């Protein structure tokens, strides 16, 4: 085997080597009195500035490593705790009854891979108070009203899924 073909084999192997590190993001479709909370990302944000979405944020190891484990080896309900914290920080609300809706994966323009876990939750308490470096506007909308906002791609479809789940219909993501 020539050195050139060995390089090609190595490149081919490296291209197939699994990349294990993703940023993990969790989001909440918050339901209150039949409406959904959407927020506009600050125009200063590196990704999707000025676009409308739902509250959420990234999981960091500091979200659990300094807490006592629930069993000898594991921390449980980490995503739920992160989601409650992110919603509290971003929009000042308390949420309850968190349910999984869907997930998505992407590789951003900066090359960072993300895994996003989308949930829905019921409003529990609080008044919306925006964390201005994260979001600069918010609205409680019906599905129909949501169509009038410049939502991140796929968010409207997630709102449709959440609305159907409220009626007892479960499904996987699809374009609405």
Q: For residue 149, give the CATH number of its domain.
A: 3.90.79.10
Residue 3 has pLDDT above 80, yes or no: no
Domain membership of residue 8 (yes or no) is no
Indicate the DSSP class of residue 150.
-
Q: State the pLDDT at residue 6.
A: 45
Residue 139 has pLDDT above 70, yes or no: yes
Instruction: Tell me the CB-side half-sphere exposure of residue 77, using CA atoms within 13 A.
Output: 12
Domain membership of residue 4 (yes or no) is no
| pLDDT band at 5; cut points 50, 70, 90 | very low
**C-beta separation of 137 from 53 below 8 A:** no
For CA atoms 100, 161, 123, 130, the dihedral sign is positive
Which pLDDT tens digit goes with each residue over 59-116? Answer: 988 888 888 999 999 999 999 999 999 999 999 999 999 999 999 999 988 888 999 9
Work out the number of other CB atoms within 10 angstroms of the CB of residue 163: 19
* pTM for the model: 0.85
Q: State the pLDDT at residue 16.
A: 55
**C-alpha closest to that of 153 among 120, 121, 175, 138:** 175
Domain membership of residue 173 (yes or no) is no
Which pLDDT tens digit goes with each residue over 18-71? Answer: 555 789 999 999 999 999 999 999 888 878 889 999 999 999 888 888 889 999
Domain membership of residue 162 (yes or no) is yes
Residue 159 has pLDDT above 80, yes or no: yes
Domain membership of residue 66 (yes or no) is yes
Domain membership of residue 68 (yes or no) is yes
Q: State the pLDDT at residue 49.
A: 82
- The total domain count for the chain is 1
Domain membership of residue 24 (yes or no) is yes
**C-beta separation of 152 from 49 below 8 A:** no
Find the domain containing 47 and state its range: 20-166
Domain membership of residue 5 (yes or no) is no
For CA atoms 44, 45, 51, 53, the dihedral sign is negative
């Amino acid at each position: 085997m020539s050195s050139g073909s060995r390089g090609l084999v190595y490149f081919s192997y490296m291209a197939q080597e699994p990349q294990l590190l993703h940023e993990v993001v969790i989001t909440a479709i918050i339901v209150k009195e039949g409406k959904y909370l959407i927020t506009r990302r600050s125009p200063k944000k590196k990704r999707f500035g000025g676009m409308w979405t739902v509250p959420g944020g990234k999981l960091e190891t500091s979200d659990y490593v300094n807490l006592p484990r629930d069993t000898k080896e594991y921390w449980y309900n980490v995503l739920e705790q992160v989601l409650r914290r992110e919603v509290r920080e971003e929009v000042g609300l308390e949420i309850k009854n968190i349910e999984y809706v869907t997930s998505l994966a992407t590789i951003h323009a900066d090359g960072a891979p993300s895994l996003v876990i989308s949930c829905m939750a019921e409003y529990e308490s609080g008044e919306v108070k925006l964390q201005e470096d994260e979001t600069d506007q918010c609205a409680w909308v019906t599905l129909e009203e949501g169509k009038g906002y410049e939502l991140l791609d796929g968010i409207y479809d997630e709102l449709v899924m959440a609305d159907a789940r409220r009626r007892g219909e479960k499904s996987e993501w699809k374009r609405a």
